[in-house]
Structure 1
Amino acid sequence: MTSNVHLAGHMAAAALSQAELADRLNRQIEHLTGRPGSLQARHIRNWLGGKTRWPQERQRRALEAEFGVNAEDLGFTPRTRPSSHPDLVPPEDSVDRRHFTVSAAALAAATLLSIPDATARPRVGMGDVEALELRFAELVAADNAAGGTLTLETRALAFAHHALERIKVGTASARVQNRLYASAAAFTGTALWSAIDAREVDRAERHFDRALRYARLAQDPVAELRLWSHQVLLSGQRPGGRNEALAAAEAGRKSSACRRDPLYRSLATTRLASAQAQVGEYTNALRSFDHARASLRQADPNGQRPSWIGFYDEAELNGLTALVMDQTGRHAEAEKHLHQALTRLRPDLVRNRNYYSAALALVQLRQGEVEQACATALTALPARAGDSLSGRTRTLLNNFHRNLHDTAPNARGAAEWKSRYTEAKGFQ
């Protein structure tokens, strides 16, 4: 399993296999020290898997020369503060600059975006920003279809790196620079969401810290609002994180973006409702959902907004309401809201359809509708080998399977469910 997604993202962007990276780093080490390195693919595999969290210094220097970023930005964690070794520093204008340019070009080829020679200090303009925003919209569409995956996460990190490199290697107006930081925040936010969807809490926390820093450098309250919205869900996944989730929701609700646009205010208020429910404030949670509906009715459906918020509409609000209704034991009302959500959900939101179908199956099972629950749960399973479920949907279906086994293992629909569920788990 890949745990160092930062290194994986840079490798994917440069189209490097483990063996290819080892060969390139051995050449870098030879240039730095005068003796060839002895890295093999297994060393790269240990870095990716987290077995080796802080490579030897000459290996780190080679990595930094190859990718043009420091070792910590490549996902490595120092045991102690790295010491300086002048004998490992190449002469000015030598391999560092040359290999940085080569790696940047490889990144550009992989992402279909161009990075000019860093020595030229090219002008970076709105065309560069618009190209990044187009790629961001493509990642959002991929997430809507399949949910958070490691591939999506690493691609998002590679694009974030690309946006930051535009700032480093070029000259830009303050407006363009802010937009580039906003792009870095957007892509890192997508990596954050992918990690949340996969329930990789520690990894998601690291993405959140970086994304929030970029959003603040961009002076972008909408980007910050998105991150606080994600933090509500992330904190809820961490044991003992309920109060932190509530604080994150309140921070998002106070955003200036919420004052300017009722749609953002509606989304932030649903996150507040979810956080209130987590700490047992059910009356406040239901009241917050009423406020969220009122704000949604006030929002201009044709307003210009970033693509990430395209998922949020009346269907999503019904789905989120249902989850809290279920928490309060109001299962019949939860079922009604879930049916409304699934009826109104856009066809491209496949990930959300699977998630709310799994939630509906659980609600039906809790009401004793065993056969209907099994039929509903089957609709949330992958249609064929190679398809996948997001981590949160998989968790709901695992819960459904356990609850069905505990309450009605001999029901007519249980046998088909068990067979299909076991088959699906085999190719997840």
Structure 2
Amino acid sequence: MDTTRNTVLEAWMNEHGHSSNSLADTVNMALERLTGRAGGLDGSSVRDWKAGRVKWPKSATRRALEDVTGLPATALGFEPRGRTPSTPAPPQEVTDTMKRRTLVGGIAAAAAAAAAPGAASPRRIGMSDVDRLQKRFAEIIASDHRHGGQLGIEQRAAALADEALNLQNAGSATQRVRSNLYAAAAAFRSSAMWAAIDGRRYDDAKAHMREAQALAEMSGDQAIKFRIWSHTGTMYRHMGRPADALAANDVARNLHIARRDPMFASLGMARQAAIRGAAQDRTGTRRAFDQAQDAMLRADPHAYRPLWMLAFYDQAELDSLALSAYLSLGAYQTAEFHAHRCLAALRPHMVRSRAIATTRLAHAQLAQGDADAATATAMKVPVDAATQHARVSRMLQEFGAALRATAPGSRTVQTWTEHAAAWRTTA
């Protein structure tokens, strides 16, 4: 049996930072989106591909691999059964020349087609269009972590969701591409939903939620379904509706992806704990956080996960949710402990999260009677978050009211009042 190594696939994996295990996990997720059933690949499956022991994977696996890479299987070094071995690859200089000729020829052909009346053919929508949208999604995620809750972020995300949907009618596409376009639209709409939640615009958030849920169902993407239902649980928690919050979060936690990947299970349990805290369920809060921590420790740090998950969920976020829960329960020492852990571990790009955790820490310190330390902490919140982020602004207003009630007429109150006034002037 000819077992010539698949060096093309190996080169693609090296370029994109994939190990055999991580590529297997990624293709398994794509298989689940395509078929509704989890894939059964592991690292040895990919090693068989690289070693040339499997020259032409099964049809569903090929489709999933093409979905992941954006390339046809033949361009990844695989050969259909019965095909004679391909000729050796031309030297790089020849390849580059051919690419330039193809590019120039393609531009000339496109120009000629545009010039010829009635000669235009329908546009072909492909994975390159999806990749472009994914880059815009990364920009939305970055803006959210820097600013959070802004109406402009919500509007940009909603417009990009519409752009993804418009592509469905802009030309022909494979079912795989259409599923990815629906997933992209759902992702943008879920970001619009989150910006509205963060900005306390709950009616708008609910409208985005309904559209995001429908788009996610059409995409079949488990990860984006999880994100939307998990956001829904958070929305109801902020609205003071813990029963609805638990029900929504349970939908996320019961998805197959949360059973397959402990990191998704951890996020689901961490948000469950925050809801339990808001509902004044001490035992349920502690149990859920223990389960969330255990699941995080079991999670494979190298497994493929979507951008939005990688960008925010880690130990710092787990401690941030614990801070919120224990603050709601009135367990102020425990809340302060988690606040310090969160702030020590937060990554630099988590600007919005740092402002929220800092404000909550100030509340926990004040509730323990340390007005001076609490005020010094609250004064560390950046001016833009203090004045432009709806959640942070409201928490700081509540902090000021609690400080005045705790230490009326004190120098500390005067210091805070002057600082808050300077914030408003600067803004």
What does 1:233-382 align with in structure 2 at a 5 Å threshold? 233-239=234-240, 241-309=241-309, 310-382=311-383
**Secondary structure of 2:347's partner?**
coil
Instruction: Please say if residues 146 and 388 of structure 1, whose CA atoms lie closer than 8 Å, have aligned partners that are also in contact.
Output: no
Write the distance in 2 (CA, Å) between the matches of 1:121 and 1:163: 17
Q: Secondary structure at the match of 2:227?
A: helix
Partner of 2:32: none
Counterpart of 2:391, as a letter, is: R
Task: After TM superposition, give the deviation of residue 188 of structure 1 in Å.
Answer: 0.5
Instruction: Tell me which residue corresponds to 1:417.
Output: 416
Contact 2:386 2:392 in 1 (8 A): no
The 5 Å alignment of 1:28-427 reads: 120-239=121-240, 241-309=241-309, 310-382=311-383, 388-426=387-425
CA distance in 2, matches of 1:394, 1:187: 26
Contact 1:270/1:292 (CA < 8 Å) preserved in 2? Answer: yes
Partner of 1:280: helix, strand, or coil? coil
Query: How far 1:306 sits from its partner (Å)?
Result: 1.7
Contact 1:146 1:350 in 2 (8 A): yes
CA distance in structure 2 between the aligned counterparts of 1:356 and 1:387, rounded to whole angstroms: 12
> 1:371·1:411 contact (CA, 8 Å) conserved in 2?
no
Question: 1:267–1:312: 8 Å Cα contact kept in structure 2?
Answer: yes
- AA partner of residue 401 (structure 2): R
Normalising by structure 1, we get a TM-score of 0.69
**Does the 8 Å contact 1:178/1:217 carry over to 2?**
yes
Please report how far the alpha carbon of residue 257 of structure 1 lies from its aligned counterpart in structure 2 after TM superposition.
Answer: 1.2
User: Match for residue 31 of structure 2?
Assistant: none
Q: Which moved more, 1:227-236 or 1:271-280?
A: 271-280
- Determine helix, strand or coil for the equivalent of 1:304: coil
Q: 1:265 to 1:348 in 2, by over 3 A?
A: same
Structure 1 stretches of at least 4 aligned residues deviating more than 3 Å after TM superposition:
386-389, 425-428
| Residue type at the aligned position of 2:203 | D
SS at match of 2:123: coil
**Following TM superposition, by how much is the alpha carbon of 1:307 offset from its aligned partner in structure 2, in angstroms?**
1.6
Deviations 1:3-22 (A, max 9, x none): xxxxxxxxxxxxxxxxxxxx
CA distance in 1, matches of 2:301, 2:419: 40
Letter of the structure 1 residue corresponding to residue 358 of structure 2: S
Equivalenced residue count is 309
1:169 is displaced (CA, Å) by 1.4
Contact map agreement 2:270 2:292 (CA 8 A) in 1 = yes
Give the distance between the partners of 1:159 and 1:398, measured in 2 at CA: 34
1:18-58 deviations in Å (ceiling 9; x for gaps): xxxxxxxxxxxxxxxxxxxxxxxxxxxxxxxxxxxxxxxxx
Paired amino acid for 2:219 = A
Q: Residue 208 of structure 1: SS of its match in structure 2?
A: helix
Structure 2: distance between partners of 1:338 and 1:243:
26
* Alpha-carbon separation, structure 2, partners of 1:285 and 1:224: 24
Q: CA deviation at 1:326?
A: 1.8
Cα distance in 1 for residues equivalent to 2:212 and 2:426: 33
Question: What stretches of structure 2 of length at least 5 have no aligned partner?
Answer: 1-113
User: What's the offset of the Cα at 1:388?
Assistant: 4.9
CA deviation after TM superposition for structure 1 residue 158, in Å: 1.0
Q: Is the 8 A contact 2:125 2:170 kept in 1?
A: no
Task: Tell me by how many angstroms 1:351 deviates.
Answer: 0.3
Using the TM superposition, give the Cα deviation of residue 123 of structure 1 relative to its aligned residue in structure 2, in angstroms: 1.0
Is the Cα contact below 8 Å between 1:370 and 1:411 reproduced in 2?
A: no
- Identity %, equivalent residues: 36
- The separation in 1 between residues aligned to 2:388 and 2:252, in whole angstroms, is 29
Q: Is the 8 A contact 2:124 2:171 kept in 1?
A: yes
1:412 shift after superposition: 2.8
Conserved? CA contact 1:147–1:389, under 8 Å: no
TM-score by length of 2: 0.69
Q: Is the partner of 1:300 in helix, strand or coil?
A: coil
Deviations 1:38-88 (A, max 9, x none): xxxxxxxxxxxxxxxxxxxxxxxxxxxxxxxxxxxxxxxxxxxxxxxxxxx
Larger-gyration structure (1/2): 2
| Mean CA deviation greater in 415-424 or 179-188 | 415-424
Q: Give deviations 1:289-312, integer Å, cap 9, x for gaps.
A: 000001111112232222211211
Q: How large is the RMSD of aligned CA atoms in angstroms?
A: 1.9
Describe the SS at the equivalent of 2:417. Answer: helix
Alpha-carbon contact 2:277-2:285 (below 8 Å) kept: yes
Deviation at 1:392, TM superposition (A): 1.3
Q: Tell me, yes or no, if the aligned pair for 2:275 and 2:325 is still in contact at 8 Å.
A: no
User: Matches of 1:344 and 1:323 in 2, distance apart?
Assistant: 16
CA shift, 1:229, in A, is 1.2
Contact 1:326 / 1:334 at 8 angstroms: preserved in 2? yes
In structure 1, C-alpha distance between the alignment counterparts of 2:125 and 2:389, rounded to whole Å: 37
Shift of 1:248: 0.7
**Native 8 Å contact 2:387 2:393 kept in 1:** no
